[in-house]
Amino acid sequence: MIRAGDFRYPFLWLLVFFLVGGCAETVPPKNRHLALEHYMSGLRHLAAGKLQGAYWDFEYAAHLDPTMKKVHYALGHVYYRMHDYLDAKAEFRKSMKGVPSKAAAENYLGLIAYRQRHYHRAILHFQKALADPLYKTPEHPLVNLGRTYIALNKPEKAHEAFSLAILRNSGDVAAHFWLGKLLMTTGDYKGALEELSEVIRLAPKFPRSYYELGRVYLKLENQDKALLAFKEVVRLDPDSPESVKARQYIKKLP
């Protein structure tokens, strides 16, 4: 199930590291080959949502070839998903040594700082990611930057960041979602409706967008459409926190 907080964790960058990462000549060829096999197996586990299997593959690949930068980035990704931020930071920093583009790792370091509520530090990492001309997906740190500005109660700067993310990639679901949430909090309900409707067009099975859409319809005094939106949340993900809250709205609506 997709979640808004999951949109910024770019799995594709693991493949980028596969293309640009290098191995030192001091590593025996057999170890290098086995490390690569375990790295690719770890990617398959990640794609299947099997974090534990991915962890063991990446860990063994790092043991076989500690110089393989892409493995450290992949391990950082897994540690982040496991909420082990200390080890995640260590692995991301290892992945940044001697590679041409550090933006993806900087974005993750910013996310870790954000999760730890070190917002100003997070901003510095996101800005470093955005300053990297080799970074192909700047919408990711832009969205994270916007979320950080929301946490700092700076809605104008957040709006600017989300708008820039959409300018970079009009199909970025997270940018539209967070901009919609921001517009709702600032009282622009029609703008929020437009953004959340775009999220549903891009990702029709994303339940959080229906929950926020239901709240917007309530603000617009359209109870019928609000009820339909809340019911869709329950249908798509009956066990989610949003579904629990949606059921409360459903009980209260006529």
Question: For residue 126, what are the contacts with CB-CB under 8 A and spacing of at least 6?
Answer: 106, 107, 110, 141, 142, 144, 145, 148
Question: pLDDT over 90 for what percent of the chain?
Answer: 86
Residue 227 Cα to chain centre, angstroms: 29
What is the distance between the alpha carbons of residues 177 and 49, in angstroms, rounded to a whole number?
Answer: 23
User: pLDDT grade, residue 11 (50/70/90)?
Assistant: low
pLDDT tens profile 205-220: 999 999 999 999 999 9
Q: Is the pLDDT of residue 24 over 70?
A: no
pLDDT score of 14 more than 60: no
Q: Determine the Cα–Cα distance for residues 180 and 109; give it in Å rounded to an integer.
A: 26
Per-residue CA distances from 104 to 128, 138, 153, 242 (Å): 10, 9, 26, 30
Please write the tens of the pLDDT for every residue from 135-185: 999 999 999 999 999 999 999 999 999 999 999 999 999 999 999 999 999
Rounded Cα–Cα distance for residues 188 and 1 (Å): 29
141 and 131 Cβ atoms separated by less than 8 Å: no
Phi and psi at residue 3, to the nearest 5° = -130, 150
CATH class of 9-100: mainly alpha
Residue 59 has pLDDT above 70, yes or no: yes
| Tens digits of residue pLDDT in 60-77 | 999 999 999 999 999 999
